[in-house]
Amino acid sequence: MRFTLRTERWYACELIGDEFDEDICSYSPIKILKIDTSAGVSRTLRLEFYHANYPEGVRDKVYNLRTIERCQKFMLVKSLGHSPVRIMQIYEITYDWITRHFPKLRPDRNNLQAWLDQHL
């Protein structure tokens, strides 16, 4: 079984690229709004998502992506529209992931998806 994105769900996302400071990564909860795989090109998709760790007003994103790898617990994709290169690793979001990367947040452990909808 391979990792599959679903619309209207939150995921953990690590953006990897030369433009990011420290460990070349930027972390963000993302909510998948729309997935379009009908481009006709193998391993490509158009992903519309809400990027919670961007400034207000520029959080709605649309990326054209090429799948690098799709495993059981994550997917690794490359943005086709960014220079320098931007890689995204997307996987299930957890309470521990949120509190590790955003220590000021205290989400509801029992209903994480609903908490994210209300607070991000």
For 25-79, write each residue's pLDDT tens digit. 999 999 999 999 876 678 899 999 999 998 888 899 999 999 999 999 999 999 9
Q: What are the tens digits of pLDDT across the range 93-105?
A: 999 999 999 999 9
Q: What is the mean pLDDT of residues 72-94?
A: 95
Q: Residue 39: its pLDDT value, please?
A: 64
What is the domain partition of the chain in residue ranges? Answer: 10-107
Q: Per-residue confidence at 84, pLDDT binned at 50, 70, 90?
A: confident
Kindly report the three-state secondary structure assignment for every residue of the chain.
CCCCCCCCCEEEEEEEECCCCCCCEEEEEEEEEEEECCCCCCCEEEEEEEECCCCCCCCEEEEEEEEEEECCCEEEEEECCCCCCEEEEEEECCHHHHHHHCCCCCCCCCCHHHHHHHHC
Among 10-14, 54-58, 82-86, 97-101, the range scoring the smallest mean pLDDT is 54-58
Q: What is the mean pLDDT of residues 105-111?
A: 95
